[in-house]
Amino acid sequence: MMLKAMHSDWLKLKGKGLWFLVCLGPVGLIAMQALNFGLRYDYLKKSYAADLWGGLLNNIAVFVPIALLMGITILCSLLANIEHHTSSWKQLLALPISRTAVFFSKFAVAAIMLGVSCIVLALGSIALGLGLGFGWALPLADIAKLGFYPFIAALPLLALLLWMCLTLRNQAVPITLGVVLAVLSMFAIAEWLPLTWPLLAYKAQKQEIFLAAGALGGLVVLLAGMVHFARRDVD
């Protein structure tokens, strides 16, 4: 049933420009660092001489949480708007499909698209590093972690924003919240705050804790959203 819903959701993405957005985020991040390193190439190369790749990745990592949360916000809102736009909920939910499947399908589609963003980011980082002449000693594990660790740590926020986008007709509320969260996510305010997990998941010593907290928290919020979505009245 879940697969049927996803199969259907996949078709609805056609011509919505979502894939463009999925690529825009990571490409933007890479372009920014290309500019940064391009302008101050000699200075930065000297200061990161010990670990050129590490220096590059750390520079990118600073901006991953904000880009990730902006992406989540816009993606969720666009996904939800496909149904909100002409009130397709009443048609969709009167079909023989469980509401949990509908909700989870949207979550899965969003997660897959964000996953693709992370892959693009990894590929972009490699291309940039090679382009800057940092050599072929690729720190592959760190490159993969660069996108995926913050993403996993951001799952509770993804579930929350998706839930809000899907259940509130007025998208201004979740979008405002998403943008505020995105800006705040650049600062490590407090470890217990889910908002800081995307940043800490890459930077902190004990990354595993933030990954586990993200996955678990994401699951909890997702289930809460599903239960609410399954019970609410559709108008």
Partner 1 sequence: MKEWIIETSGLSKRYKGRYAVSNLNLKIGRGEIFGFLGPNGAGKTTTIRMLLGLIQPSGGNIQIFGQPLRRNRLQILRRVGSLVEYPSYYGHLSATDNLEAIRRIIDAPKNRISEVLDIVGLSKEAKRPVKGFSLGMKQRLGIASALLGSPELLVLDEPTNGLDPAGILEIRELIKAMPREHGITVLISSHLLSEVEQMANTVGIIRQGEMVFQDSMASLREQAHGSMALRVSDSMKAMRVLAQSGIPSQHEGALLTIGQTDDEYVARAVRELVASGHAVYRVEERRKSLEELFLRIVGEGRGL
Residues at the site binding partner 1, with contacts judged by CB under 8 A:
4-5, 7-8, 11-12, 14-16, 82, 85-98, 231, 233-235
Identify the residue whose tokens are 């996510």. Answer: 185
CB of 7 to partner 1, least distance (A): 5
CB of 82 to partner 1, least distance (A): 6
Is residue 165 classed as helix, strand or coil in its secondary structure? helix
Residue with Cβ nearer partner 1 (59 or 81):
81
Residue with Cβ nearer partner 1 (8 or 36):
8
CB of 102 to partner 1, least distance (A): 9
User: What is the rounded CA–CA span in Å between residue 118 and residue 143?
Assistant: 10
Write the CB contacts of 103 (distance below 8 Å, at least 6 apart in sequence): 166, 225, 226, 229, 230
- Residue 185 DSSP label: T
Plot region of 215 (φ>0 → left; ψ -120 to 50 → alpha; else → beta): alpha
- Cβ–Cβ under 8 Å, residues 147 and 26: yes
User: What is the rounded CA–CA span in Å between residue 161 and residue 167?
Assistant: 10
Residue with Cβ nearer partner 1 (42 or 233):
233
- Cβ–Cβ under 8 Å, residues 26 and 68: no
User: What is the rounded CA–CA span in Å between residue 69 and residue 103?
Assistant: 20
CB of 105 to partner 1, least distance (A): 10
Residue with Cβ nearer partner 1 (105 or 117):
105
Q: In terms of C-beta density within 10 A (0-12 exposed, 13-18 middle, 19 or more buried), how is residue 93 classed?
A: middle
CB of 85 to partner 1, least distance (A): 7
Residue with Cβ nearer partner 1 (89 or 149):
89
CB of 177 to partner 1, least distance (A): 27
Residue with Cβ nearer partner 1 (47 or 87):
87
